[in-house]
Amino acid sequence: QVQLVESGGGLVQPGGSLRLSCVASGSIRNIIVRAWYRQAPGKQREMVATIPLFGSPTYADSVKGRFTIARDNAKNTVYLQMNSLKPEDTAVYYCNVRSIPSNYWGQGTQVTVSS
């Protein structure tokens, strides 16, 4: 059974940086795209960044220029480098892997940006 395990969340001051990691245990075939989503209290889950099998990454407008998504296929890992963090980035961050025919989610990791 495939599991996605996120790590790297925590408390950081505004302007700081964090790097999230998501490791997939088990083999996932026919991956279409890897992505990070987030959900803030009282809000809907939203896409933060995606990295497709082919093509360029995409980012939510709110994180462009500050966040970078990357993958390491050999390690079965996807990363989210977050710089210049703002209080409005506070949320639970979820890793997502979309394949044919399945869609996988991690359990989430909390990111809190506060002074």
User: Given the DSSP bridges, would you call strands 109-113 and 10-12 parallel, antiparallel or unpaired?
Assistant: parallel
Residue carrying the six token digits 């296929």: 73
Q: Return the pLDDT at 88.
A: 97
pLDDT in tens, 24-83: 988 888 889 999 999 999 999 999 999 998 889 999 999 999 999 999 988 999 999 999
Contacts of 11 (CB under 8 A, 6+ apart): 112, 114
Q: Return the pLDDT at 28.
A: 85
Q: Return the pLDDT at 25.
A: 87
